[in-house]
A and B are shown apart, each in its own frame.
Chain A
């Protein structure tokens, strides 16, 4: 007992954040960074939601004059761009940041400082994009920014420069995050966590991260082409100079469609975790779910042309992409049946997290039903650019990602804060969101079939769309009221929510094996894993979280160390040092901001200074510290494992 206390004291001394500005701005703790990611992404969610409310108010009655056409263009562009790039992916990366090291039983991400950089770049690129509103020059080319509209001839202002540069800037954060997730999941798992015992949320983040590495480069290349064309008069998309606007569409959608899965797959991971915990049984078809996740990630790269069925492409190509777009429904079907089977075979407890998951399943199946209509080319050509499309992708993205994200809020909030979210307010939150969502988006199917095109800032009274649109606007405000209930719930529960304890849901994965909130070092002794559901597989006499631990801390003589593992079998392979807090990632984020602001304003000296600073900071970052840790004297560490 005494040695445990001593060990704990040593760990705390090494890990507790120093107080003051450096610990605030320089932290590399994945839990703090994860929570910041979630908070910042939620802020962008609220901003994009307010834009949506303005648009819905404008469309509530025919020939409304609340928003002019220019403002409306900026609002729908910023709404889509924000929701896709600055809310959905960062929000799910925030969950990943917080949860992945805990779930695999590590003390931090593989590259904690890089993780801090990812957050700063995400924040600064978001501020960069939103600063355009201050100049009245917000991007206005739609979230897929088709050329030639977005070329300098037709969009001469800075609007599209903000957009293209902002997304190139953001891609640094997303790519670095993806690399970090993959290495953490492959190389830093707890002893015994072979790859076939990896939690399904980790599988989802792993596949998503690979999809990011393959999907973001074409978007970056497209944006580099666009910027070179806009700023220096290069020619890529202009037919008079031999280019083709279709090049933009191919590059964009080769990114754009996989990006749907980059958003959807981590949400699916949340669903698998919550379904198993609240059905009180292991997930049905673990292997099939993992394989379906991989299959979705792979096939997702073969369907992009279905966004371009109406642009005039050869029928053979259309058929190929029509088939692949049908095939991709199969893994999704497998997943839905696995979740339903788990719930039917278990004893589901319908608390708020599972309510949101049930809502997700209903909405996702509805969105999937319209989804399997689009591979039929003639149908797709009829509804392209109509409100039917708007209805479909809100069903799959709000239903498929936002509802699981809210389930995730309710599920992991106790781990992050130590307190449960209020169940009563949670029920209000869910039902208002669910009813509001359907009121908003179901009528859009009908409006679309009646011929209402997307992206119109108003419509004439005689077209008969007024009633449906009014209903949609009422629905949007109902949905917003549901989200207000959530915000109120967070503030209420932070102050006076029920104490959560280590494992309030009696769940099975490792993030519940430590205190709520976890100590900075996550686990006093690193856990050892003997199955897919570590906390459910203990001998009955042992309480979760004690016998799971090795009594003799494998990193006992060390302070800021964690275990490296082998890639497939998850056996201990070495000791990794975790760096302490540092301000360099913040400085690097600021230097990168200078580069992008310089390019935006054509102030090449500023961009040049920024590049030099970036180089200097990277060298400072990678330079080995003056004092090598004491353990670097050639001796080996010893790991002691006790079988459970």
Chain B
């Protein structure tokens, strides 16, 4: 860089403006990354559910081979657990936005307990099942789709547990809690996917 260029540029006026170090929500790159992960995972479930209906359309009866329709009691309880857990997570996030550590911690603990109960009930449901994934294509699809969703619930629990530990250590403030925001975003995604699974795998055989 020569002196002449330095002076010619320095002669022009400079515009100054302040910029933040901490970006939250849609201004933050990690929020975008989480959104894209959710988009990508939505396609996984779209592919799973499309496979379900594609196979179903090729068969004369659904469930095939005289199998019973799915029982609804456990999945409906599970729906209530997951949907309420989403509201609790949202409430917890609202807490840290106002700088209330206690509300964040309490909300996340309750939500994690609700999600844990969901998994426990799902395992109980699997144990009671009269068919297995090896029975036929219906069994394979049922267990694969609900199982992959169950894995997502497990991942969601793991993510939020780590965030809870950080909350207990006091890592978050009203301005700085991106990890909470992303965990809540993922939580809502897993819950909304469950509603699609409930409608397709459990309710649609009754239509």
A-side residues, CB < 8 A to B, are: 1, 4, 110-111, 175, 178-180, 182-183, 186-188, 213-214, 216-218, 220-221, 224-225, 228-229, 232-236, 238, 241-244, 247, 250-251, 254, 541-543, 546-547, 550-552, 554, 563-564, 572-577, 615, 619, 622, 624, 631-632, 635-643
Q: Which chain B residues numbered 120 to 140 have a C-beta less than 8 Å away from chain A?
A: 133-134, 136-140
Besides the known contacts A228-B140, A575-B21, A619-B162, 10 further A-B residue pairs in the complex with CB atoms under 8 A apart: A186-B32, A233-B134, A235-B137, A242-B138, A243-B140, A247-B51, A541-B8, A564-B28, A577-B21, A636-B21
**At the interface, yes or no: B207 with Cβ under 8 Å from chain A?**
no
For the complex, give the distance between the alpha carbons of A132 and B3 in Å.
61
**At the interface, yes or no: B171 with Cβ under 8 Å from chain A?**
yes
Considering the complex, give the chain B residue whose CB is closest to the CB of A566. B27
Residues of B within 8 A of A242 (CB): 55, 59, 64-65, 136-138
Q: Which of A110, A251, A622 contacts B162 (CB 8 A)?
A: A622
Q: Which chain B residues numbered 41 to 86 have a C-beta less than 8 Å away from chain A?
A: 41, 43-44, 46-48, 51, 54-55, 58-59, 64-65
Chain B nearest Cβ from A615, distance in angstroms: 7
The winner among A216, A220, A551, A552 for most chain B CB atoms within 10 A is A551
The winner among B136, B140, B179 for most chain A CB atoms within 10 A is B140
Q: A1-B3, A547-B5 are in contact. Are A241 and B137 (CB under 8 A)?
A: yes
Considering the complex, give the chain A residue whose CB is closest to the CB of B163. A622
Q: List 27 A-B contacts (CB under 8 A).
A: A1-B1, A1-B6, A110-B29, A111-B33, A183-B33, A183-B36, A217-B41, A217-B44, A221-B47, A225-B51, A228-B144, A234-B144, A235-B134, A235-B140, A236-B137, A244-B54, A244-B58, A547-B5, A550-B14, A551-B14, A563-B19, A572-B19, A574-B20, A574-B22, A636-B20, A638-B19, A641-B17
**At the interface, yes or no: B37 with Cβ under 8 Å from chain A?**
yes
B14 near A642: Cβ-Cβ < 8 Å = yes
Chain A nearest Cβ from B147, distance in angstroms: 10
**At the interface, yes or no: B158 with Cβ under 8 Å from chain A?**
yes
A179 near B36: Cβ-Cβ < 8 Å = yes
Chain B nearest Cβ from A5, distance in angstroms: 10
Considering the complex, give the chain B residue whose CB is closest to the CB of A212. B40
**At the interface, yes or no: B192 with Cβ under 8 Å from chain A?**
no
Q: A1-B3, A573-B27, A574-B20 are in contact. Are A642 and B12 (CB under 8 A)?
A: yes
For the complex, give the distance between the alpha carbons of A1 and B4 in Å.
11
A188 near B29: Cβ-Cβ < 8 Å = yes
Chain A nearest Cβ from B68, distance in angstroms: 16
B-side residues, CB < 8 A to A, are: 1-3, 5-6, 8-10, 12-23, 27-29, 32-33, 36-37, 39-41, 43-44, 46-48, 51, 54-55, 58-59, 64-65, 133-134, 136-141, 143-144, 148, 158, 162, 166, 171, 179
Chain B nearest Cβ from A542, distance in angstroms: 7
For the complex, give the distance between the alpha carbons of A638 and B138 in Å.
61
A251 near B140: Cβ-Cβ < 8 Å = no
B9 near A641: Cβ-Cβ < 8 Å = no
Considering the complex, give the chain A residue whose CB is closest to the CB of B173. A634
Considering the complex, give the chain B residue whose CB is closest to the CB of A576. B29
A638 near B48: Cβ-Cβ < 8 Å = no
Q: A235-B134, A574-B21 are in contact. Are A214 and B36 (CB under 8 A)?
A: no
Residues of A within 8 A of B139 (CB): 235
Considering the complex, give the chain A residue whose CB is closest to the CB of B56. A242
B36 near A638: Cβ-Cβ < 8 Å = no
For the complex, give the distance between the alpha carbons of A243 and B5 in Å.
72
Residues of B within 8 A of A573 (CB): 19, 23, 27
Considering the complex, give the chain A residue whose CB is closest to the CB of B141. A236
Q: Which of A1, A233, A641 contacts B15 (CB 8 A)?
A: A641
Residues of A within 8 A of B27 (CB): 564, 573-574
For the complex, give the distance between the alpha carbons of A14 and B28 in Å.
24
B55 near A243: Cβ-Cβ < 8 Å = yes
B14 near A640: Cβ-Cβ < 8 Å = yes
For the complex, give the distance between the alpha carbons of A129 and B112 in Å.
39
Residues of B within 8 A of A551 (CB): 6, 9-10, 14
Residues of A within 8 A of B37 (CB): 179
Residues of B within 8 A of A186 (CB): 32
For the complex, give the distance between the alpha carbons of A55 and B161 in Å.
54
